[in-house]
Amino acid sequence: MNTVFQIGLTVLMFGSLFSVLTLSLNLQYARGGMINFGTVAYFAAGAYAYAIVTQEPPHGLDQYLVGLDMPWWVGFIAAGIAAMAFAILTGWPTLRLRGEYLALTTFAFAEMLNSLLVNERGIGNGTVGLANVERPDANILGLSENIVYALAAFALMLATAYAFRRLLASPYGRAVDAIRDDEVAAQAIGKDIARLRFQVFVISSIPIGFAGALYAMITTLVNPDLFSAEVTFFVWIALVLGGERTLLGVVIGTMALVGFQEVIRAIPFESVRAAEIAASAEDIVTGILFIVILRWQPFSALARRRQAA
Chain contacts with another protein (rule: CB under 8 A): 35, 93-94, 96-97, 99-101, 103-105, 107-109, 111-112, 115-116, 118-119, 229, 233, 236-237, 240, 273, 276-277, 279-284, 286-291, 294-295
Q: Are 142 and 2 within 8 A, CB to CB? A: no
Q: Which are the contacts of 292, defined by CB distance < 8 A and separation ≥ 6?
A: none
Residue 253: CB minimum distance to another protein, A = 13
DSSP state of 31: I
**100 or 181: CB nearest another protein:** 100
Q: Are 293 and 241 within 8 A, CB to CB? A: yes
**149 or 234: CB nearest another protein:** 234
Residue 279: CB minimum distance to another protein, A = 7
Residue 286: CB minimum distance to another protein, A = 5
Which strand (E) or helix (H) includes residue 131? strand 130-131
Q: DSSP of 195-229, one letter per residue?
A: HHHHHHHHHHHHHHHHHHHHHHHHHSEE-GGGGSH
**71 or 122: CB nearest another protein:** 122
**29 or 164: CB nearest another protein:** 29
Q: Are 24 and 205 within 8 A, CB to CB? A: yes
Adjacent-strand bridge partners of 130: 222
